């Protein structure tokens, strides 16, 4: 019973597939050593032809190179099989060639007689031509394309990786999709590198075919004359035809496989296979077809030319062009205008008061396909991804983005609105790609110069054909949908505090109440109002602090709400409780924290200002100007050193400085000493000093 189970498990589908390759290699090695009967040679040569045709058809049906990622291995194995068959057939030809033209099987006989008419001179010429086509034209060209493609793919990898990171940071893709894309980029580079090396197998196979043909002819003549007492004419006829048949039956499948290799490495990845690309790129160009037909027609009317053939083909091309130009175009649905109701029959009502969308995206009419659900608009899916990423990273679900077309703006423009007010706008060009300069490009690109609407980086709109080249130069290349989505994601994160209304705050507490109902009940409304909690959360969001850890926030509010009711003071207490999270968000997991600190004299002046009851607005103008100027200088120095721009201050000064510097130095984070967790080492790299 155990033996039966182990045998059945050995020959199940997965194990058989795993054993197929080793068995195939063992059989190839066996053919190099063991003699094969003619019937076995017929079967194996036929299988070799079938395999080459199968590989060619698969290569024609692929839409991108990685759809046939096993091709380099298939190329190696098919080459090894052909060479082992050549060795096995050479053994039979030299041993049994004196018996007749069918000594090595019917397949070799057919290729030696019927394909070249039994004339070995013609056979040698045909064989040499096939080898030249395979070796010099197809294999050399395919190898060169694979070499260049491998080089450009490797050069473009950093740009592609940056584009993936940009999509991941914008919430357009998740970690699994990012990992899949990175793997695909690596596989693409490996594929073209393997194809560059695999083309050398075909080149070596062609050289080996010529040498095997010469060896078979010379060896056969010597054996026929010396061992079997044959005449020179009979020996030449038998052994030469057998050698030519053997060479042709191996070189024709090799030529087919080489054509498949050329197709795989020379195609441009689209959503169409080779046939679809040919039809759409060549035979759908009616103007070119008409001109071709006219030229053929003129040539067909020249005396002495084969008039019938030229005119027949010209007529066929005219019919093809006419058929393509008269195909029914897709009819766009007509927009029927509703009849205008009489003014007298309409009265104003509350239905005429349209609510203002919290978040809105308005697009020009040329950008409508990007947001059309019926056409599977990519931008709609990316906006959903932005909301998911925002909820996961910031800590609450933002309002839905209401999308509508706006005929009053530029056809290629878009507007992002918050509560009906524009907070951002931009212009994109459909059909082009935006190549963004991250600051380390190696050359410039031709195109329409512009700036990235989200971060203001220099950029250029380029044709799709320059996408790979731009990535290899160091540009970050994105499509129009990604440009809009990235801009929207940046603005939504920037205005997170304004998106947290009472409704969102209540929904956040309700969501927390499902897992900790008692915690929420004890806080709202017993100790704090919903408005006070909302204000604390907004204060955190204004300073870029995520509110994911609602349990810690609620615990801290419960602890201090009995004696503190001011939202700003409560915010400072919550920040201390979230100190570890805040520091990690800025510095990551490092233990050494490079910071900007206040000069003692300036710190003393600010303390006196605070003690007199003045806030940032009441600060003496000279002191305010000095503080702003010195802080900007220190921030620039800190960023030049590659450190986060963080100002470390006493706890009592932190709220005042954070409010004062927020608008003028938005990239600066203000931390208090109380917010730095234990175990972290503070390193002062710059001082904000000097008093007015």
Rounded Cα–Cα distance for residues 398 and 414 (Å):
20
Q: How far is CA 332 from the centre of its chain?
A: 32
Percentages helix, strand, coil for the chain, rounded to the nearest 5? 65, 10, 25
Distances in Å between the Cα of 334 and the Cα atoms of 337, 341, 394 are 9, 21, 44
Rounded Cα–Cα distance for residues 419 and 4 (Å):
73
Q: Show me where the domains of the chain are located.
A: 24-275, 285-323, 355-494, 500-577, 590-692
- 663 φ, ψ to 5°? -80, -35
Question: β-strand 448-451 against 458-462: which pairing, if any?
Answer: antiparallel
pLDDT score recorded for residue 614: 54
pLDDT score recorded for residue 143: 73
Rounded Cα–Cα distance for residues 483 and 468 (Å):
18
pLDDT score recorded for residue 362: 93
Segments in 62-174 forming alpha helices (H): 71-96, 106-113, 120-132, 140-169
Q: Residues 6 or more apart from 186 whose CB is under 8 A from it?
A: 157
Residue 9 CB-density burial (10 A; 0-12 exposed, 13-18 middle, 19+ buried): exposed
Closest to 654 in 3D by CA, of 613, 598, 612, 585: 598
Largest alpha-carbon pair distance within the chain?
A: 125
SS3 of 684, please? Answer: strand
Closest to 38 in 3D by CA, of 102, 132, 123, 95: 102
Rounded Cα–Cα distance for residues 655 and 171 (Å):
31
Mean pLDDT by 10 residues, the chain (692 residues): 49 60 78 78 84 84 76 81 82 74 71 65 77 76 73 70 71 76 78 73 75 81 80 76 78 81 70 62 73 82 79 83 64 43 60 82 89 72 88 91 88 92 93 89 87 91 89 89 92 93 91 89 89 94 92 93 92 94 90 91 84 63 84 89 91 89 88 91 85 39
SS3 of 339, please? Answer: coil
pLDDT score recorded for residue 427: 93
Q: How far is CA 586 from the centre of its chain?
A: 29
pLDDT score recorded for residue 495: 93
Q: Which CATH class is domain 590-692?
A: alpha beta
| Residues 260, 264, 266: CA angle, nearest 5 degrees | 115
Tokens of 46: 């036929």
pLDDT score recorded for residue 38: 79
Question: β-strand 401-405 against 413-418: which pairing, if any?
Answer: unpaired
pLDDT score recorded for residue 505: 92
Tokens of 480: 């129009």
How is domain 500-577 classified at the architecture level of CATH?
A: Orthogonal Bundle (1.10)
Rounded Cα–Cα distance for residues 273 and 277 (Å):
6
Neighbours of 92 (CB within 10 A): 21
Q: Are the C-beta atoms of residues 390 and 171 closer than 8 Å to each other?
A: yes
SS3 of 266, please? Answer: helix
**What would the DSSP string read from start to end of 44-94?**
HHHHHHHHHHHHHHHHHH-SSGGGGTTHHHHHHHHHHHHHHHHHHHHHHHH
Distances in Å between the Cα of 649 and the Cα atoms of 342, 586, 590, 607, 687 are 68, 16, 20, 11, 11
SS3 of 517, please? Answer: helix
Q: Residues 6 or more apart from 138 whose CB is under 8 A from it?
A: 255, 258, 259, 261, 262
Rounded Cα–Cα distance for residues 62 and 277 (Å):
11
Q: Residues 6 or more apart from 127 whose CB is under 8 A from it?
A: 209, 213, 244, 247, 248, 251
443-449, long-range: CB < 8 A, 24+ apart: 443/473, 445/469, 445/470, 445/473, 445/475
Rounded Cα–Cα distance for residues 661 and 71 (Å):
60
Rounded Cα–Cα distance for residues 208 and 671 (Å):
74
User: 447: phi > 0 → left, psi -120 to 50 → alpha, else beta; which?
Assistant: left
First to last CA, the chain: 96
| pTM as predicted | 0.55
Closest to 75 in 3D by CA, of 173, 197, 188: 197
Neighbours of 673 (CB within 10 A): 13
What is the CATH T-level fold of the domain 355-494, as seen in this structure? Answer: Glutaredoxin (3.40.30)
């Amino acid at each position: 019973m155990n033996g039966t189970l182990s045998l059945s498990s050995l020959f199940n589908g997965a194990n058989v597939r795993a054993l197929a390759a080793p068995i195939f290699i063992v059989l190839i090695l066996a053919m190099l050593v063991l003699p094969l009967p003619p019937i076995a040679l017929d079967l194996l040569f036929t299988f070799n032809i079938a395999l080459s045709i199968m590989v060619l058809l698969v290569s024609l049906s692929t839409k991108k190179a990685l759809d046939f990622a096993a091709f380099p291995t298939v190329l190696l194995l098919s080459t090894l099989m052909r060479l082992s068959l050549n060795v096995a057939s050479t053994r039979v030809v030299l041993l049994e060639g004196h018996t007749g033209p069918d000594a090595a099987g019917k397949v070799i006989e057919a290729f030696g007689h019927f394909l070249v008419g039994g004339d070995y001179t013609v056979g040698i010429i045909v064989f040499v031509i096939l080898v030249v086509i395979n070796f010099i034209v197809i294999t050399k060209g395919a190898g060169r394309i694979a070499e260049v493609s491998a080089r450009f793919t490797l050069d473009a990898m950093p740009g592609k990786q940056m584009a993936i990171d940009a999509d991941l940071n914008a919430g357009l893709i998740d970690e699994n999709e990012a990992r899949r894309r990175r793997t695909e980029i690596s596989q693409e580079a490996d594929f073209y590198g393997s194809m560059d090396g695999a083309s050398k197998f075909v080149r070596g196979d062609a050289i080996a075919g010529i040498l095997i043909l010469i060896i078979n002819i010379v060896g056969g003549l010597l054996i026929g004359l010396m061992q079997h007492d044959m005449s020179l004419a009979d020996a030449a006829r038998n052994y030469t035809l057998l050698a030519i048949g053997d060479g042709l039956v191996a070189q024709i499948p090799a030529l087919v496989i080489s054509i498949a290799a050329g197709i795989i490495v020379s195609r441009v990845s689209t959503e169409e296979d080779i046939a679809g690309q040919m039809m759409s790129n060549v035979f759908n160009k009616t103007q070119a077809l008409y001109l071709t037909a006219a030229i053929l027609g003129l040539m067909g009317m020249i005396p002495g030319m084969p008039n019938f053939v030229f005119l027949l083909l010209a007529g066929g091309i005219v019919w093809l062009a006419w058929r393509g130009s008269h195909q029914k175009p897709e009819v766009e649905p007509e927009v029927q205008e509703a009849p205008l109701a009489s003014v007298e029959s309409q009265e104003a009502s509350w239905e005429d008061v349209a609510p203002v969308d919290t978040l809105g995206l308005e697009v020009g009419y040329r950008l409508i396909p990007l947001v059309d659900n019926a056409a599977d608009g990519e931008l709609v899916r990316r906006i959903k991804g932005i909301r998911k990423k925002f909820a996961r990273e910031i800590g609450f679900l933002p309002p839905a983005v209401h999308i509508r077309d706006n005929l009053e703006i530029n056809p290629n423009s878009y507007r992002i609105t918050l509560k009906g007010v524009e907070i951002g706008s931009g212009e994109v060009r459909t059909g082009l790609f935006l190549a963004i300069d991250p600051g380390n490009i190696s050359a410039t690109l031709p195109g329409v110069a512009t700036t990235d609407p989200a971060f203001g980086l220099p950029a250029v709109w380029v044709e799709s054909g320059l996408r790979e080249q731009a990535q290899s130069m160091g540009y970050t290349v994105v499509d129009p949908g990604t440009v809009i989505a990235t801009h929207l994601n940046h603005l939504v994160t920037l205005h997170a505090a304004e998106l947290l209304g009472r409704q969102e705050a209540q929904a956040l507490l309700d969501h927390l109440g499902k897992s900790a109902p008692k915690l929420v009940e004890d806080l709202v409304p017993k100790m704090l109002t919903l408005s006070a909690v909302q204000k604390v959360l907004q204060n955190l969001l204004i300073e870029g602090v995520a509110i994911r850890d609602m349990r810690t926030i609620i615990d801290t509010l419960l602890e201090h709400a009995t004696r503190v009711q001011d939202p700003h003071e409560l915010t400072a207490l919550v920040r201390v409780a979230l100190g570890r999270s805040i520091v990690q968000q800025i510095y990551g997991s490092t233990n050494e924290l490079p910071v900007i600190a206040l000069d003692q004299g300036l710190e003393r002046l600010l303390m006196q200002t605070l003690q007199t009851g003045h806030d940032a607005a009441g600060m003496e103008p000279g002191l305010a100007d000095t503080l702003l100027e010195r802080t900007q200088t220190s921030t620039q120095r800190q960023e030049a050193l590659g450190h986060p721009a963080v100002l470390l201050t006493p706890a009592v000064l932190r709220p005042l400085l954070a409010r004062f510097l927020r608008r003028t130095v938005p990239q600066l984070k203000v931390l208090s000493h109380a917010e730095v967790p234990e175990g972290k080492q503070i390193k002062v790299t710059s001082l904000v000093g000097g008093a007015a």
